[in-house]
């Protein structure tokens, strides 16, 4: 058994049920009513957090840090629900969580926040995050954070991490055509971009939430303000293509007729 320092990078994204509308800006685009949109913890980063909690439970003495870059007020709202799921220490950074910021800049902010964790022990470090965000959807930030921290082993699209008897770490990464690439790394530090993982979403635990919030609120208060943008990037157009199709609704029709139509379509 080992004790790990698990650092999870994850921030907020607009609730997936929201309709989003882009707005052009002087430097980068933004979303209409961005500050008003309900948000959730970025789904794949959330899975990373649940996997971290599970590992910490199985490996006594482990500690979880959640490093979040986002507008402070919105982070506070988000933490009310996230804090009820698993125990963690929050490291908050006050800045944009927009999908139109540049991972190069975001990774610099995240890496510097991670470096400031007191007594950070690289030989125990598991750096977790999602395999890509539901905002930028690039799958790049975690590699850049790893590079900035000097971590040489990175795994993308991980569904399973097994801690072997001898302390080695075995990863199953999603690759093409429904397969896993299975690899074993000798020891931490490692960086992981999680996919869905294997765990259900933990139920809300209000008691845990209250305990977490005691640390979360001061962390939010001392959150450093940073400016992240997308230097060197010129967005010439951002559009929301029409998604509506002219749906033909076929009802009160014998199954034979439907099947005939389907067969002709599928075979054409």
Partner 1 sequence: MEKLLLLLHTEDDGSLRRQSLEALTSAKETAEKIGADFYLGIVGNGAKKSTELIGNCGAKSFAVLEGNDFSVPRYSTDKSAALALIKHFAATVVIAPNTSRWARALPGATFQAGGRIDTRVTGIATDGGIQIQRWYYRQRMLATLSRTQRPWVILIESGIFKAWEKVSVQVNVEEVSAELKPEMKRTESKGYENASGGEQTIKPDAPILFVAGAGYMKKQSDGKTHVKEAEELIKKFLKLSGASLGSSKSLVEAASEGAEVISIMTHMNQVGQTGSTPRHQKGLSTCCHGEEPHVIGWRFINERRAVNTDPNCGWAQGKTDVLYVADAFEVMTKLNEKWGQKWGQA
Ligand X SMILES: Cc1cc2nc3c(=O)[nH]c(=O)nc-3n(C[C@H](O)[C@H](O)[C@H](O)COP(=O)(O)OP(=O)(O)OC[C@H]3O[C@@H](n4cnc5c(N)ncnc54)[C@H](O)[C@@H]3O)c2cc1C
Which lies closer to ligand X via its Cβ, residue 222 or residue 248? 248
**CB contact at 8 A, 60 and 3:** yes
* # residues near partner 1 by CB under 8 A: 88
Q: Which residues 4-33 are close enough to bind partner 1 by CB under 8 A?
A: 13-14, 16-17, 20, 22, 29, 31
Partners of 172 in the β-ladder: 160, 182
Q: How far is the CB of 58 from partner 1 (least distance, A)?
A: 18
Residues 23-62 touching ligand X, rule: CB under 6 A, are 40, 43
Return the SS3 of 264: helix
* Residue 187 binds: one of partner 1, ligand X, none (C-beta under 5 to 8 A by kind): partner 1
- Tell the residue number behind the tokens 């919105």, with chain if given: 74
Map residue 128 onto helix, strand or coil: strand
Q: Counting contacts by CB under 6 A, is residue 254 touching ligand X?
A: no
In whole angstroms, the minimum distance from the beta carbon of 60 to partner 1 comes to: 25
CB of 78 to ligand X, least distance (A): 13
* DSSP structural state of residue 122: G
d(CA 77, CA 232): 32
d(CA 188, CA 192): 11
Closer residue to ligand X in complex, CB, 45/144 = 45
Quick check: 202 binds ligand X (CB under 6 A)? no
- CA 240, CA 226: separation in Å to the nearest integer? 29
Q: Does 255 bind partner 1 (CB under 8 A)?
A: yes
Residue 146's binding partner out of ligand X, partner 1, none, with CB under 5 to 8 Å set by partner kind? partner 1
Hey, what's the torsion of the CAs at 250, 252, 256, 260, to 10 degrees? -10
> Taking the CA of residue 231 as centre, how many other CA atoms within 13 Å lie in the half-sphere pointing to its CB?
5
Choose which of 6, 93, 109, 134 interacts with partner 1 (CB under 8 A): 134
Does 36 engage in binding with partner 1 (CB under 8 A)? no
Identify which of residues 39 and 107 has a Cβ nearer to ligand X in the complex. Answer: 39
Q: Does 165 bind partner 1 (CB under 8 A)?
A: no
Task: Provide the 8-state DSSP code for 204.
Answer: P
Q: Check residue 16 for interaction with ligand X (CB under 6 A).
A: yes
Distance separating alpha carbons of residues 183 and 175, to the nearest angstrom: 12
Q: Site for partner 1 (CB under 8 A): which residue of 175, 204, 210, 221?
A: 175
Q: Which one of 53-61, 113-121, 208-216, 240-248 is the stretch in contact with partner 1 (CB under 8 A)?
A: 240-248
Both ends of the chain: CA-CA distance in Å?
A: 58
Closest CA to 199 of 36, 21, 12, 46: 46
Residue 136 touches partner 1, criterion: CB under 8 A: yes
Peptide bond into 189 cis (omega under 30): yes
The first and second tokens of residue 22, run together, are 């882009």
Q: Contact between 87 and ligand X (CB under 6 A)?
A: no
Q: Which residues bind ligand X (CB under 6 A)?
A: 16, 40, 43
């Amino acid at each position: 058994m080992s004790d790990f320092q698990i650092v999870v990078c994850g921030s907020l994204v607009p609730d997936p049920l929201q309709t989003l509308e882009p707005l052009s800006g002087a430097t980068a685009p933004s979303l209409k009513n961005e500050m008003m949109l309900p948000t959730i913890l970025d789904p794949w980063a959330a899975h990373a957090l649940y996997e971290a909690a599970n590992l910490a439970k199985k490996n006594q003495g482990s500690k979880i840090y959640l490093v979040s870059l986002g507008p402070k007020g919105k982070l506070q709202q988000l933490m009310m629900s996230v804090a009820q799921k698993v125990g963690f220490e929050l490291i908050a950074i006050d800045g944009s969580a927009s999908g139109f910021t540049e991972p190069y800049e975001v990774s610099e902010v995240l890496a510097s926040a991670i470096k400031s964790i007191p007594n950070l022990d690289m030989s125990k470090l598991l750096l977790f995050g999602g395999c890509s965000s539901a905002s930028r959807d690039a799958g790049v930030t975690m590699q850049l954070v790893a590079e900035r921290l000097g971590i040489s082993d990175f795994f993308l699209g991980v569904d399973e991490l097994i801690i072997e008897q001898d302390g080695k770490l075995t990863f199953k990464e999603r690759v093409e055509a429904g397969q896993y690439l299975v690899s074993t790394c000798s020891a931490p530090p490692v960086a992981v971009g999680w996919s869905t993982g294997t765990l259900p979403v933990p139920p809300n635990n209000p008691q845990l939430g209250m305990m977490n919030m005691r640390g979360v609120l001061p962390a939010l208060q001392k959150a450093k303000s940073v400016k992240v943008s997308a230097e060197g990037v010129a967005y010439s157009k951002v559009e929301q293509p029409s998604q509506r199709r002219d749906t033909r609704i076929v009802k009160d029709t014998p199954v034979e007729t439907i099947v005939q139509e389907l067969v002709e379509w599928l075979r054409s």
